[in-house]
């Protein structure tokens, strides 16, 4: 079924067997007599035109290039003269046909052409009335071969829009003719249709029931838009053609395609999603028609266009016409979730357990009475009852206990039509989750968001947050955000993004972070910066962890730097260093204090642990180690098993980036000799359910444990502190704890043997880490001759960047603690505009600026030397 605009019916060229418009069955009475009078009235005019075309005067023209020789000019003139003479001869032949008079189709066509298509319906009706529809069809086929206003063959490239009216009228007459008359017309057309491409196109247009003719016509290329219209008006049988989609279907073409194809018209629109990426406004007609084709295939095609904002209103129109079927299609497509939510909230008949699950919605609950709502939702300052009762807009005097609630701008903000608050998910009340905010109050929640600005959140947001259940409010805000994205993220409605920072939660963070990371690559850096503010605004451990993750690792340098600044701002606001903040925001993922968790299958239980890379594993009841939970057996509880597997899969997915970041952070802490107080060490490392797994696998040092140098120690499985001999140690509150760097460990070999004996695998190279030391001569020097002349590759040099090196074109630079800088001069240097990772590079100079090498502390010296040795080691 297709519902087309009523105005399109006038654009249809009636066809035999048309689906939308029926042809007029009766030609105007007396048409033959009217044509006879017209012929008499124009006889002198036609004769004058014939005399002009066949007279003795002979005009011709030719063109040559400016550097043509005289012989070439003469040859061109002779050819032009020959063509003119041939045209004159042909004109005289046609004049004889014309003077012979009708019922010769060519004579009738010549008269029509000389009069330049004057009164086309009079001519068409007169031919049919006087000589039959077959004769009229034969005439218009001849018209396709003669030039308007001339006694000459038609130019295949010449546009003749005036012929279209007479072709259309004859097509209408054929459509309403009897079967005998129609077959006679088809026979007459068939006799001349093979003459040229134009004739084949006109033949298919007049008789679109002839599928072979239509197929041939669609393959013809003439470059004429008037004939292209005839081609599209010929299309009839579904599946008979597969032409490429036209870049700009106008209403006339679409109206005729619907008349010929019905709901199968969308088969021609398969290129629509691609074309919307280029000048989407040109496809408005196609979108409008597709939305009115009431089939699953049409709606599925619109769903493919979901990423284009221009398609959103048409999707909504199509979904509202067939809500149940549309909801089923949306449920299978994650990116259609916002549309699905709107259907489920506005059309109760679409709600099924499967569709609610796909939309991430809980089953609806009854709406709360106004008395249970906060004032900003029950009777807001911008509500009609306030303004009507007082004849003015409310102000702060109306809410003495709510400063700023009634302080409104001169003009209330208006959001775009993309947002329909009544279609958003329910917000449940904090005090009673069995009731929800009424749908009509959703717009008040949105108004609170719209009235808020960065750094100036409207008091209504606080009221809503205090009165509403946090998880459902966060889902409401996320639904607003998703609809905003589908609408093309209009800048005027940026509150849709900022609101996530005011009412979002940890789940919001997990969904938003990948979007923030991708935005710079989608020319949305400014939105990504706002997204960082949102993460900081949520402020939970998970939010700050994801914010820190962006600051540590992101390929877009601008956003990475802004994230670093935001992390520093948050840390300063809490009175912490960035490193201290990092300790406090590591998520625990719901793990108990011991760091392992038991998951229940009903008849059996599994213990979840973590290896040296924080990869989760499972120990089954028989003690076998598995990488994942097994499929439930027949004796297991299916619901418990499904919940356990879902939790484990989610843990593994969420843990991957966190584990890599924490291992890298601890290794960096060892290199920089970062210090923890005893309290911080116990709370944020030993006492953390996740980091405890790493802490037990590393060697630490602490001051004040024994007199003299710091004491090396490790953590046992029961989280006690022991030295290399296994003696228990007590960590005083005054102790300063650091990760042991092997260059500082006196009993390194004994510790390595101990860890090996206990089969303790380390998360990064610590006890087996390469150690570098300067020679006595090098310690007093500023240069390192042993590396001068060594070769490496541009790729290996660029890989040093993640360890703090900089690589301008002709140098590699490392800024070191104490204000010194190691500078390596490269030859020939790295050309960033023509980078090749395999390009050989020679170390021409290796020099320390700002001091000599003995000024470096042992850890810095060791790390620097091992990096240089790794850089120049033959591959």
Rounded distance between C-alpha atoms, residue 813 and residue 648, angstroms: 44
Rounded distance between C-alpha atoms, residue 142 and residue 418, angstroms: 54
pLDDT at 389: 46
What is this structure's pTM? 0.75
Which residue has tokens 């002349």? 789
CA distances from 389 to 375, 381, 392, 413, 729 (A): 16, 12, 8, 22, 76
Flag whether pLDDT at 387 surpasses 60: no
Q: How confident is the model at residue 53 (pLDDT cuts 50, 70, 90)?
A: low
Mean pLDDT of the 225-240 span: 76
241 versus 688: which is more confidently predicted?
Answer: 688
Could you write out the DSSP letters of every residue in 502-525? HH--HHHHHHHHHHHHHGGGGT-H
Range from 81-85, 228-232, 257-261, 822-826 that averages highest in pLDDT: 822-826
pLDDT at 91: 56
Flag whether pLDDT at 649 surpasses 50: yes
Coil, strand or helix at 601 = coil
Locate 739 and state its tokens. Answer: 């990760």
Q: Are 659 and 613 spatial neighbours (Cβ–Cβ below 8 Å)?
A: yes
Rounded distance between C-alpha atoms, residue 839 and residue 323, angstroms: 61
Mean pLDDT of the 547-576 span: 89
Q: How confident is the model at residue 654 (pLDDT cuts 50, 70, 90)?
A: confident
* Residue pLDDT, tens place only, 472-525: 999 999 999 999 999 999 999 999 999 999 999 999 999 999 999 999 999 999
27 versus 493: which is more confidently predicted?
Answer: 493
Flag whether pLDDT at 282 surpasses 60: yes
Rounded distance between C-alpha atoms, residue 846 and residue 868, angstroms: 10
Q: Are 527 and 519 spatial neighbours (Cβ–Cβ below 8 Å)?
A: yes
Q: How confident is the model at residue 300 (pLDDT cuts 50, 70, 90)?
A: very high
End-to-end CA distance of the chain: 69
CA distances from 193 to 102, 117, 203, 206 (A): 21, 21, 6, 11
* Residue pLDDT, tens place only, 712-721: 999 998 889 9
Coil, strand or helix at 412 = coil
Flag whether pLDDT at 302 surpasses 50: yes
Rounded distance between C-alpha atoms, residue 440 and residue 425, angstroms: 12
Q: Which helix (H) or strand (E) holds 598?
A: strand 597-600
pLDDT at 699: 97
Q: Which residues contact 833 (CB under 8 A, 6 or more apart)?
A: none
pLDDT at 154: 63
pLDDT at 779: 94
Rounded distance between C-alpha atoms, residue 290 and residue 229, angstroms: 20
Mean pLDDT of the 239-244 span: 50
> 29-49 b/e with 16+ CB inside 10 Å = b?
eebeebbeebbeebeeebeeb
Q: Are 299 and 322 spatial neighbours (Cβ–Cβ below 8 Å)?
A: yes
Q: Which helix (H) or strand (E) holds 755?
A: helix 748-757
Locate 159 and state its tokens. Answer: 């546009």
Rounded distance between C-alpha atoms, residue 694 and residue 684, angstroms: 12
* Residue pLDDT, tens place only, 815-853: 999 899 999 999 998 876 677 888 899 999 999 999 999
Rounded distance between C-alpha atoms, residue 32 and residue 184, angstroms: 20
Sign, Cα dihedral of 215, 216, 221, 226: negative
Q: Which residues contact 276 (CB under 8 A, 6 or more apart)?
A: 283, 305, 308, 310, 311
Locate 780 and state its tokens. Answer: 């007093």
pLDDT at 158: 59
Rounded distance between C-alpha atoms, residue 339 and residue 117, angstroms: 52
Residue 25: which of 153, 236, 132, 172 has the closest Cα? Answer: 172
Mean pLDDT of the chain: 86
CA angle 467, 472, 477 (to 5 degrees): 95
Q: Are 202 and 230 spatial neighbours (Cβ–Cβ below 8 Å)?
A: yes
Rounded distance between C-alpha atoms, residue 2 and residue 294, angstroms: 6
pLDDT at 225: 74
Flag whether pLDDT at 417 surpasses 50: yes
Locate 68 and state its tokens. Answer: 């043509």
* Residue pLDDT, tens place only, 774-809: 999 999 999 999 999 999 998 999 888 888 899 888
Residue 209: which of 17, 80, 43, 398 has the closest Cα? Answer: 17
Q: How confident is the model at residue 102 (pLDDT cuts 50, 70, 90)?
A: low
Q: Which helix (H) or strand (E) holds 483?
A: helix 470-486
ω before 828 within 30° of 0 (cis)?
A: yes
Coil, strand or helix at 847 = strand
Mean pLDDT of the 380-393 span: 62
Range from 155-159, 170-174, 331-335, 842-846 that averages highest in pLDDT: 842-846
Q: Which helix (H) or strand (E) holds 677?
A: strand 676-677
- How far from the centroid of its chain's Cα atoms is residue 702's Cα? 52
CA distances from 799 to 126, 669, 689, 792 (A): 86, 20, 33, 12
**To the nearest 10°, the Cα dihedral for 706, 708, 714, 719?**
30
Lowest mean per-residue pLDDT among 259-268, 665-674, 743-752, 753-762: 259-268
Flag whether pLDDT at 59 surpasses 60: no
pLDDT at 414: 92
Strand partners, 841: 792
Rounded distance between C-alpha atoms, residue 867 and residue 98, angstroms: 97
pLDDT at 161: 63
Flag whether pLDDT at 73 surpasses 90: no
Rounded distance between C-alpha atoms, residue 634 and residue 651, angstroms: 25
pLDDT at 70: 75
Burial of 787 (0-12, 13-18, 19+ CB in 10 A): middle
Q: Which helix (H) or strand (E) holds 713?
A: strand 711-715
The pLDDT > 70 percentage for the chain reads 88
* Residue pLDDT, tens place only, 143-166: 887 766 555 666 665 556 667 888
Locate 281 and state its tokens. Answer: 């406004």
pLDDT at 391: 44
pLDDT at 453: 92
Q: How confident is the model at residue 724 (pLDDT cuts 50, 70, 90)?
A: very high
Mean pLDDT of the 382-401 span: 57
Rounded distance between C-alpha atoms, residue 45 and residue 308, angstroms: 58
Three-state DSSP string of 577-597: CHHHHHHHCCCCCCCCCCCCE
CA distances from 216 to 243, 275, 463, 529, 747 (A): 12, 26, 70, 57, 90
* Residue pLDDT, tens place only, 592-629: 988 889 999 999 999 999 999 999 999 999 999 999 99
Flag whether pLDDT at 457 surpasses 50: yes
Flag whether pLDDT at 758 surpasses 60: yes
* Residue pLDDT, tens place only, 558-572: 998 999 999 999 999
Range from 158-172, 189-203, 579-593, 739-753 that averages highest in pLDDT: 739-753
Rounded distance between C-alpha atoms, residue 46 and residue 151, angstroms: 11
Flag whether pLDDT at 242 surpasses 50: no
pLDDT at 392: 47
Q: Are 638 and 826 spatial neighbours (Cβ–Cβ below 8 Å)?
A: no
* Residue pLDDT, tens place only, 634-646: 899 999 999 999 9
Strand partners, 514: none
């Amino acid at each position: 079924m297709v519902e087309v605009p009523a105005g399109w019916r006038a654009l249809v060229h009636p066809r035999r067997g048309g689906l939308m418009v029926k042809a007029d069955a009766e030609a105007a009475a007396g048409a033959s007599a009217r044509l006879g009078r017209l012929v008499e009235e124009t006889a002198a005019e036609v004769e004058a035109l014939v005399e002009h075309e066949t007279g003795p005067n002979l005009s011709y023209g030719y063109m040559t290039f400016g550097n043509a020789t005289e012989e070439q000019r003469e040859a061109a003139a002779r050819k032009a003269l020959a063509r003119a003479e041939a045209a004159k001869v042909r004109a005289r032949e046609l004049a004889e046909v014309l003077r012979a008079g009708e019922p010769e189709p060519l004579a009738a066509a010549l008269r029509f052409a000389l009069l330049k298509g004057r009164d086309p319906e009079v001519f068409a009706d007169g031919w049919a009335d006087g000589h039959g529809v077959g004769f009229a069809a034969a005439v218009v086929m001849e018209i396709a071969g003669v030039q308007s206003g001339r006694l000459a063959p038609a130019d295949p490239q010449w546009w003749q829009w005036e012929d279209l009216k007479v072709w259309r009228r004859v097509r209408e007459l054929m459509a309403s003719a009897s079967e005998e008359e129609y077959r006679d017309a088809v026979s007459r057309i068939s006799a001349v249709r093979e003459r040229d491409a134009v004739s084949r196109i006109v033949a298919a247009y007049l008789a679109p029931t002839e599928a072979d003719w239509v197929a041939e016509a669609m393959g013809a290329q003439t470059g004429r838009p008037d004939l292209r219209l005839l081609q599209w008006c010929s299309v009839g049988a579904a599946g008979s053609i597969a032409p490429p989609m036209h870049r700009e279907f106008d209403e006339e073409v679409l109206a005729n395609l619907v008349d010929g194809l019905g709901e199968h018209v969308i088969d021609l629109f398969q290129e629509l999603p691609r074309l919307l990426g280029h000048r989407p406004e040109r496809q408005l007609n196609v979108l409008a028609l597709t939305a009115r084709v009431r089939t699953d295939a049409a709606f599925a095609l619109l769903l493919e266009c979901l990423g284009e904002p221009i398609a959103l209103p048409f999707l909504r129109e199509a979904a509202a016409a067939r809500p149940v079927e549309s909801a089923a299609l949306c449920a299978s497509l994650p990116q259609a979730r916002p549309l699905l939510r709107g259907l489920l909230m506005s059309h109760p008949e679409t709600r099924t357990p499967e569709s609610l699950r796909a939309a991430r919605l809980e089953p609806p609950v009854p709406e709360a009475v106004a008395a249970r709502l906060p004032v900003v939702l029950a009777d807001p300052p911008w509500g009609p009852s306030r303004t009507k009762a007082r004849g003015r807009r409310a102000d702060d005097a109306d809410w003495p206990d709510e400063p700023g609630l009634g302080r409104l701008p001169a003009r209330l903000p208006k959001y775009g039509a993309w947002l329909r608050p009544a279609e958003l998910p329910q917000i449940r009340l904090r005090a009673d989750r069995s009731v929800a905010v009424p749908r009509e109050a959703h717009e008040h929640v949105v108004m609170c968001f719209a009235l808020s600005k960065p750094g100036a959140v409207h008091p209504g947001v606080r009221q809503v947050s205090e009165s509403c259940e946090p998880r459902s409010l966060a889902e409401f805000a996320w639904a607003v955000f998703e609809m905003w994205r589908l609408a093309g993220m209009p800048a005027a409605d940026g509150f849709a993004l900022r609101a996530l920072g005011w009412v979002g939660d940890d789940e919001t963070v997990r969904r938003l972070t990948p979007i923030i990371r991708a935005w710079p690559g989608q020319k949305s850096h400014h939105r990504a910066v706002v997204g960082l503010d949102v993460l900081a605004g949520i402020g939970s451990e998970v939010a700050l962890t994801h914010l820190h993750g962006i600051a540590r690792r992101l390929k877009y340098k601008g956003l990475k730097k802004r994230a670093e600044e935001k992390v520093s701002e948050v840390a300063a606001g809490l009175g912490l260093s960035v490193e201290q903040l990092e300790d406090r925001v590591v998520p625990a993922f719901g793990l108990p204090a011991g760091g392992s968790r038991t998951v229940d299958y009903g008849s059996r239980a599994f213990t979840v642990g973590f290896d040296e890379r924080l990869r989760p594993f499972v120990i089954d009841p028989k003690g076998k180690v598995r990488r994942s939970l097994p499929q439930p057996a027949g004796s297991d509880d299916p619901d418990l098993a499904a919940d356990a597997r879902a939790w484990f899969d989610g843990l593994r997915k969420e843990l991957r980036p966190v584990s890599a970041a924490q291992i890298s952070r601890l290794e960096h802490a060892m290199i920089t000799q970062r210090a923890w107080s005893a309290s911080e060490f116990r709370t944020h490392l030993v006492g953390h359910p996740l980091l405890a797994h790493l802490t037990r696998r590393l060697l630490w040092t602490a001051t004040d444990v024994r007199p003299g140098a710091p004491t090396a120690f490790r953590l046992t499985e029961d989280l006690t502190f022991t030295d290399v001999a296994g003696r228990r140690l007590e960590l005083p509150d005054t102790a300063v704890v650091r990760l042991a760097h092997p260059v500082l460990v006196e009993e390194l070999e004994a510790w390595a043997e101990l860890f090996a004996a206990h089969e303790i695998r380390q998360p990064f190279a610590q006890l087996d880490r390469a150690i570098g030391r300067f020679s006595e001569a090098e310690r007093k020097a500023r240069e390192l001759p042993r590396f001068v002349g060594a070769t490496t590759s541009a790729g290996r040099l660029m890989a040093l960047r993640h360890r703090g090196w900089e690589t301008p074109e002709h140098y590699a630079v490392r800024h070191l603690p104490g204000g010194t800088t190691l500078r390596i001069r490269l030859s020939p240097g790295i050309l960033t505009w023509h980078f090749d990772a395999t390009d050989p590079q020679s170390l021409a100079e290796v020099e320390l600026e700002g001091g000599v090498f003995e000024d470096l502390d042992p850890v810095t010296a060791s790390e620097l030397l091992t990096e240089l040795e790794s850089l120049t080691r033959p591959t």
